[in-house]
Amino acid sequence: MTAEVRPLCKPAEYKSDIKPVWCPGCGDYHVLMSFTRAFAELGLPPEQIAVISGIGCSSRIPAYTSCYGFHGVHGRSLALAAGLKVARSDLTVVVASGDGDGYSIGGNHFIHACRRNIDMTYVVMDNHIYGMTKGQPSPTTEPEFDTALSPGGTGLRPFHPLVIALASGANFVARAFSGNPNETASIIVEAIRHPGFSFIEILSPCVTFRPDEKAWKDLVHPAPVEATNDPGKASRRIMTDDGFNIGILYRGDRRPYQLHMGQASAELAELEREFET
């Protein structure tokens, strides 16, 4: 008897019936398109993928896919995803976040997820603002960005997510632009295929609270160099680039985290007896 071969899914089959409520023109629409194109290219059935998120406009994305999904607590998507991946290593785990969710409240999880190097892909839709809560500055907001909520700007040095990811041990680092959905889909495909923790920063404009970001489409350009496997070299390049270099910037060769499933060295009852004595 021959095994039944399931036809591959088309990108549209990775979309749910829920209509996105993002503002017209929000960059996140294109990110959703890139997700579905990437999943189709990988030939993975939707039930083999889990899309995990926190809270924010960007974090709504799991509901718009037909994959397994979990719209978790603000800033805690990586902890949730790490537990899922360790328990269900057969699933492809993709984590979706925003610059507020992932770098403010979730900043500590970000560092340790890179360090642990569990095999999953982390996508941050970075719009340099808290979109969902109406425009507060995030860790990537420019210091001089002047609004009623931050008069005169915060004056604070922005966080540098790609360099922090490299310093913390991420195994794949890339920057993408939502307005180039095919290119972004290819980067997501490569990130998912790469073993270990892959991090993609997607510049995704918030047209409502950062209309100035509409100019990003004219500022982005392909990274002028090939990806390196040297984290020091990648960091130096990223520290000195203009923030609009698009492409895969680092491919590491660290061994992904493995759950040690060996025999327990002590029985629980034995430990309990030790505590009692």
Ligand X SMILES: Cc1ncc(C[n+]2csc(CCOP(=O)(O)OP(=O)(O)O)c2C)c(N)n1
Measured from the CB of residue 102, what is the shortest distance to Mg ion in angstroms? 9
Judged by CB under 6 A, the residue of 15, 74, 194, 251 near ligand X is 74
Q: Is 178 in the site for ligand X (CB under 6 A)?
A: no
Q: Binding-site residue total for ligand SF4 (CB under 6 A)?
A: 12
Q: Which does 133 bind (CB under 5 to 8 A by kind): ligand SF4, Mg ion, ligand X, none?
A: ligand X
Q: Is 209 in the site for ligand SF4 (CB under 6 A)?
A: yes
Q: Is 98 in the site for ligand X (CB under 6 A)?
A: yes
The closest of 39, 63, 28 to 185, measured between CA atoms, is: 39
Judged by CB under 6 A, the residue of 23, 42, 149, 223 near ligand SF4 is 23
Q: Which does 101 bind (CB under 5 to 8 A by kind): Mg ion, ligand SF4, ligand X, none?
A: ligand X
Other CB atoms within 10 Å distance of the CB of residue 169: 18
Q: Is 99 in the site for ligand SF4 (CB under 6 A)?
A: no
Asked if 128 and 211 count as a contact pair (C-beta separation under 8 A), the reply is: no
Measured from the CB of residue 134, what is the shortest distance to ligand SF4 in angstroms? 8
Tokens of 73: 């607590």
Q: Is 136 in the site for ligand SF4 (CB under 6 A)?
A: no
CA 184 vs. chain centroid, Å, equals: 12
What residues from 18 to 57 belong to the interface with ligand X (CB under 6 A)?
Answer: 55-57
How many alpha carbons fall within 13 Å on the CB side of residue 172?
Answer: 24
Q: How buried is 211 (Cβ within 10 angstroms: 0-12 exposed, 13-18 middle, 19+ buried)?
A: exposed
120 forms beta bridges with 197
Q: What SS3 state is found at 222? A: strand
- Rounded CA gap, 60 and 64, in Å? 7
- Rounded CA gap, 191 and 124, in Å? 13
Q: Which stretch binds Mg ion (CB under 5 A): 95-103, 111-119, 197-205, 256-264?
A: 95-103
Question: What backbone phi and psi angles, to 5 degrees, belong to 164?
Answer: -65, -40
Measured from the CB of residue 44, what is the shortest distance to ligand X in angstroms? 25
Q: Which stretch binds ligand SF4 (CB under 6 A): 5-13, 175-183, 206-214, 222-230?
A: 206-214
What residues from 114 to 143 belong to the interface with ligand X (CB under 6 A)?
Answer: 125, 127, 129-133, 138
Amino acid of residue 126: D
Where do contacts with ligand SF4 occur on this chain (CB under 6 A)? 22-23, 26, 28, 57, 127, 131-132, 206-209
